[in-house]
Structure 1
Amino acid sequence: MAQVLEFKLPDLGEGLTEAEIVRWLVQVGDVVAVDQPVVEVETAKAMVEVPCPYGGVVTARFGEEGAELPVGAPLLTVAVGEGAEGHRPAAGPGTDGGAARAGEQPGVGERRSEGSGNVLVGYGTSEAPARRRRVRPQGRASGATAGSGTAGSGTAGAGPSGAGVPGRANGRVRVAEPVDGPVPVISPLVRRLARENDLDLRELTGSGPDGLILRADVEYALRAAAAQGGRAAREAGPHPDGTVREQALAATAGAAATGSAGSAVPPGDVRIPLKGVRGAVADKLARSRREIPDATCWVDADATELMRARAAMNAASGPKISLVALLARICTAALARFPELNSTVDTQAREIVRFDHVHLGFAAQTDRGLVVPVVRDAHARDAEALTSEFARLTEAARAGRLTPGELTGGTFTLNNYGVFGVDGSTPIVNHPEAAMLGVGRIVPKPWVHEGELAVRQVVQLSLTFDHRVCDGGTAGGFLRYVADCVEQPAVLLRTL
């Protein structure tokens, strides 16, 4: 006998509490194998394909593409065992959630199936997850007043008829009557969005299965309210039957929404949510600026000999050596001489923690924003191994396949902003690290070489560092050593 098991969004590690659905990889009615990827989600760290620990027929999916779900929220349900084929929904559109509606689970006493035994960053699949039953609305109160049980402000549902904030129905704005009892909402994030904008969920009509309120419903109501706000302010007034115009209520919701988020958006302007990778970067940079008293020093260096050395390496047989790999090798040698910069500050213990290893991060620009993959144990790799690892991580970053573990744990960062065609920069330290080396573009410039004016390949190097871990002398010594290695690569032989 088939049983229906619920697969929840697993703990993706690194303290992540939510993820955004980017793309569903299966449809309701599809047959899936154990550990087959079923959905692609984006966290604040990376894009991840989530495998399902059960094999069977997909009976329901929870969440639209673009929706954010908290860890532990249902992703899908799967019918497993004999007779699972009978759980396929009837052909036709709109079958999401057809065979097993949102949250319906097998009854008590049904047999649990074996999981795959694999682990997805803290999520064990050796046994079925706990059962979950979604709370359904108790029914609509046709004569209820707007003030009964509202969660928003008193103005959001004013009026004796119970007319409220517009919801979405068939692409039009309409007003739903409030309901008694708990409101069916797809995730706590949707509830929080409504609460922050003083939007009463009881007065929305959900477009999901069984009236489930989706994030899109809340966003649609807020957009519609803002669009109608100006006209509603002029037309507000009582109808002959004593009710309040829908436009006035929309204006109230729109004012609450824009008031909580800041000033209203003028026509043509766009608001872009700080979420996913962009949001994580914003949070980290803001924290770095708040906590780290940083300083920057820089120097111009003649990179002609470094470029010649690289050309000689690549002329020989074997894999080609990248310039960033040579710069990374210089960094690790410099950190061995100046370990103060390979550290972090434990603010609670008021201690400086120096690392005995170099996990080298490097800034990589992708279509999804700036990410900093980490080369583990960079100090123990030669130029060939560094080249290979940089290439692998860069490709994974562009494809959105980096794991959370490949984006965390760095002890020092190398930022090659020269690829953008700029000479210099004062970057923000990658919290909680203590320093970052910046490398500008390498361009021909007039330079005094051996007492003669010549055209040389010149690069600007900058070091931004946490002034708590060292003074200017240490930072200057580190940067000067890096510059010496760039100008005379043979200096590196002393540390090989």
Structure 2
Amino acid sequence: MSGDGAGGRRVFRLPDLGEGLTEAEVLGWRVAVGESVVTDQVVAEVESAKAAVEIPVPFAGRVVTLHAGVGERVEVGGPLVTIEGGDGAGVRAEAVAGAGPEVAREEVSGAESGSGPVLVGYGTVPVADVPRDALAPRAISPLVRRMAAENGLDLAALSREAPHGVVRRRDVEAALADRSPESSAASTSAAVEERVPLRGVGRAMAERVTRSRREIPDASVWVDVDATELLAVRDQLRAAAPELGIGLLALVARVCVAGLARFPELNARVDARRGELVRLRGVHLGFAAQTPRGLVVPVVRDAQRLSTAELAAELRRLGEAARGGTLSAEAMAGGTFTVNNYGVFGVDGATPIINHPEAAMLGMGRVVQRPWVVDGALAVRWVTQLSITFDHRVCDGGTAGGFLRFVADHVERPALLTARL
């Protein structure tokens, strides 16, 4: 992250964004040539194949050169911005001198404590301590900035009305709803065609599913399952320990982890070059999450080591980070098996595309009341459809069906899990 150069100029190069990513696209610059910057000030927002991140500069001075335009790609290690002059803390203190004693004290304190660059975040100053005019440029998420820019909204005007100057997604949505029908109609009629480039997360997902279908000979099996008892267990846990937040996804994920211990072929990947099946020791459990930026798959590391409560907490933490746009690239890499709850979209079934290079994905449809035969009599039960798409190179239908039946049996009779604790 350090710069290099001579004659008082330092070149800040694009830092390593993790997980083997080699480049990123510049979404926007927060500074212009000639402006002064302070240590840790966000100078650019970039988007890799994994996530959008804000890039803070690790030293202070005056901006001399911006080495890429908006929409251009920069390789990791390539020059991003050149800074001239400045001694770090002094420039930081000078830049905030006009913002009031509270802001100045916070900024200088951060400099003296050696505040390092944070790739995802909104600066080192607490929101409550910053004047409204000073806060607006540093405390607005990349998602909100993009929404405002795409719809031609003035963020500065919105920030003057928002609490503490922080514009949130709902503020942008409300501003769009307030637009006159005439202007909306004119905008609609003028747009005959729209071309949206595949970038960042969207492009990465498109490439991954294309590669999956091109390289993996996949097959799917599915089964309808009576989930009444599993829902009862969830409700009991919510009543007895609501602070744990154990939901249906966490319970199904726990069943899947137990099933992978019984059927390790599905927690594997194929090394086609060497003609080998690589069985993996740890279960890095991915789960599909729909976000404003598209579909992402956060990964719970070593899920086999976590209790059900710990698993639920990780699912919740990663899901919130994904929806908030703060999920790191590392948190979406290295999965070995994925669970996809597409039932949240109100559908019963699907044939999931395997998250390459994994070997399988379990899908779960919506849980609805249906007629079901119980002990020879017709009853109304809570029913869902489970499906598994698997790589036919790692196992045959018997193994995949055995895993699916294992999951289904434990969904129908969750008490069976206690025998494996």
Q: What TM-score comes out, normalization by structure 2 length?
A: 0.71
Residue 373 of structure 1 contacts residue 407 of structure 1 at CA under 8 Å; is this kept in 2? yes
2:217 is the counterpart of 1:293: yes
Q: What's the counterpart of residue 476 of structure 1?
A: 401
Q: What TM-score comes out, normalization by structure 1 length?
A: 0.61
The alpha-carbon deviation at position 57 of structure 1 amounts to 3.2
After superposition, residues 11-410 of structure 1 pair within 5 angstroms as: 11-28=16-33, 30-81=35-86, 268-317=192-241, 318-410=243-335
The alpha-carbon deviation at position 269 of structure 1 amounts to 3.1
The alpha-carbon deviation at position 491 of structure 1 amounts to 0.9
Between the aligned partners of 1:491 and 1:355, the Cα distance in structure 2 is: 25
The alpha-carbon deviation at position 369 of structure 1 amounts to 1.1
1:458 is paired with a residue whose SS is: strand
Residue 40 of structure 2 contacts residue 115 of structure 2 at CA under 8 Å; is this kept in 1? no
Deviations 1:444-465 (A, max 9, x none): 0111112211110000000000
The alpha-carbon deviation at position 350 of structure 1 amounts to 0.4
Between the aligned partners of 2:356 and 2:87, the Cα distance in structure 1 is: 53
Residue 8 of structure 1 contacts residue 74 of structure 1 at CA under 8 Å; is this kept in 2? yes
Higher helix fraction: Structure 1 or Structure 2? 2
The alpha-carbon deviation at position 23 of structure 1 amounts to 3.6
Residue 285 of structure 2 contacts residue 335 of structure 2 at CA under 8 Å; is this kept in 1? yes
1:324 is paired with a residue whose SS is: helix
RMSD: 2.5
Residue 61 of structure 2 contacts residue 87 of structure 2 at CA under 8 Å; is this kept in 1? no
The alpha-carbon deviation at position 314 of structure 1 amounts to 0.8
Kindly provide the amino acid, as one letter, of the partner of residue 388 in structure 2: L
Kindly provide the amino acid, as one letter, of the partner of residue 196 in structure 2: I
The alpha-carbon deviation at position 31 of structure 1 amounts to 4.4
Q: What's the counterpart of residue 413 of structure 1?
A: 338
Between the aligned partners of 1:413 and 1:436, the Cα distance in structure 2 is: 5
Aligned pair count reads: 322
Mark the CA change 1:82 to 1:388 in structure 2 (over 3 Å): closer, same or farther.
closer
1:290 is paired with a residue whose SS is: helix
Kindly provide the amino acid, as one letter, of the partner of residue 374 in structure 2: H
Between the aligned partners of 1:30 and 1:490, the Cα distance in structure 2 is: 64
Mark the CA change 1:119 to 1:466 in structure 2 (over 3 Å): closer, same or farther.
farther
Q: Percent identity?
A: 58
Between the aligned partners of 1:378 and 1:465, the Cα distance in structure 2 is: 20
Deviations 1:135-181 (A, max 9, x none): xxxxxxxxxxxxxxxxxxxxxxxxxxxxxxxxxxxxxxxxxxxxxxx
Residue 10 of structure 1 contacts residue 120 of structure 1 at CA under 8 Å; is this kept in 2? no
1:409 is paired with a residue whose SS is: coil
Kindly provide the amino acid, as one letter, of the partner of residue 415 in structure 2: A
Between the aligned partners of 1:314 and 1:36, the Cα distance in structure 2 is: 43
Deviations 1:121-141 (A, max 9, x none): 9xxxxxxxxxxxxxxxxxxxx
Residue segments in structure 2 that go unaligned for 5+ positions in a row: 1-5, 95-113, 120-190
Kindly provide the amino acid, as one letter, of the partner of residue 6 in structure 1: V
Using CA pairs below 8 Å that are at least 6 residues apart, which structure has the higher relative contact order? 2
Between the aligned partners of 2:86 and 2:371, the Cα distance in structure 1 is: 76
Residue 40 of structure 2 contacts residue 117 of structure 2 at CA under 8 Å; is this kept in 1? no
Mark the CA change 1:271 to 1:447 in structure 2 (over 3 Å): closer, same or farther.
same
Larger radius of gyration: 1
